[in-house]
């Protein structure tokens, strides 16, 4: 059973996850357009992950006998100054998502909603991983600066990322 307030808060997060998906889809297309096919792959996988996050909220809300409320979404930016700034924007966005998940968890604790607390645990772990990945990539990009060869090396590395389907995902 979900409270009215919790249902609304979960729905808000569901819509935010969908916005995240659009943001990374936009980054994927932009990276591809400037010849960074590896980065395009990385952001396309990030898009797929966000759709998994979105579906987790969708399934949870329905499993509690409620229904989703899809709202209007802001348009994501569709041009980005550099690969470094794309990843800085990604980290900034994921830190915002971490704060959202923390606030949801605090609400669940306050309402003594144990089921939602357990549901959110997966996301708490996931956010640590998201931020860690972004920081690692930002660190490398800062190290190479605008060295073209370095950018190509990193692009190759980003191209090696593979999507792990949700059932097989550890966290």
Q: Does 107 bind Fe ion (CB under 5 A)?
A: no
- Specify the stretch interacting with Fe ion by CB under 5 A; choose among 12-20, 21-29, 55-63, 108-116: 12-20
- Of 141, 133, 137, 16, nearest to 70 by C-alpha is 16
Question: Cα-flanking dihedrals φ and ψ of residue 3, to 5°?
Answer: -70, 165
Q: Does 53 bind Fe ion (CB under 5 A)?
A: yes
- Specify the stretch interacting with Fe ion by CB under 5 A; choose among 35-43, 52-60, 102-110, 147-155: 52-60
Least distance CB 33 / Fe ion (angstroms) = 24
Nearer to Fe ion (CB atom), residue 50 or residue 134? 50
Least distance CB 22 / Fe ion (angstroms) = 12
Give every CB contact of residue 89 below 8 A, 6+ residues apart in sequence.
23, 27, 77, 80
Binding mask 21-50 toward Fe ion (x if CB under 5 A, else -) reads ----------------------------xx
Tokens of 69: 């409320």
Torsion of CA 121, 135, 48, 117, to 10 degrees: 10
Pairwise CA distance, residues 121 & 13, whole Å: 15
- Specify the stretch interacting with Fe ion by CB under 5 A; choose among 15-23, 36-44, 73-81, 148-156: 15-23
Nearer to Fe ion (CB atom), residue 53 or residue 107? 53
Pairwise CA distance, residues 86 & 43, whole Å: 10
Nearer to Fe ion (CB atom), residue 43 or residue 151? 43
CB atoms within 10 A of CB 67: 10
- Specify the stretch interacting with Fe ion by CB under 5 A; choose among 1-9, 13-21, 79-87, 158-166: 13-21
Q: Does 56 bind Fe ion (CB under 5 A)?
A: no
Residues at the contact surface with Fe ion, assessed by CB under 5 A: 17, 20, 49-50, 53
């Amino acid at each position: 059973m979900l409270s009215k307030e919790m249902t609304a808060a979960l729905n808000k997060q569901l819509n935010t996850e969908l916005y995240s998906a659009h943001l990374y889809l936009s980054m994927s297309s932009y990276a591809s357009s400037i010849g960074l096919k590896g980065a395009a792959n990385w952001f396309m996988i990030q898009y797929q992950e966000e759709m998994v996050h979105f579906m987790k909220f969708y399934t949870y809300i329905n499993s509690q006998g409620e229904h989703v409320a899809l709202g209007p979404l802001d348009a994501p930016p569709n041009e980005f100054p550099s690969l470094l700034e794309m990843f800085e924007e990604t980290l900034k966005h994921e830190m915002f998502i971490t704060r959202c998940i923390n606030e949801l968890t605090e609400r669940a604790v306050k309402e003594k909603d144990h089921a939602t607390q357990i549901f959110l645990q997966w996301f708490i772990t996931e956010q640590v991983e998201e931020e860690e990945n972004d920081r690692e990539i930002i660190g490398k990009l800062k190290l190479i600066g605008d060295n073209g060869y370095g950018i190509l090396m990193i692009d190759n590395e980003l191209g090696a990322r593979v999507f792990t389907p949700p059932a097989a995902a550890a966290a």
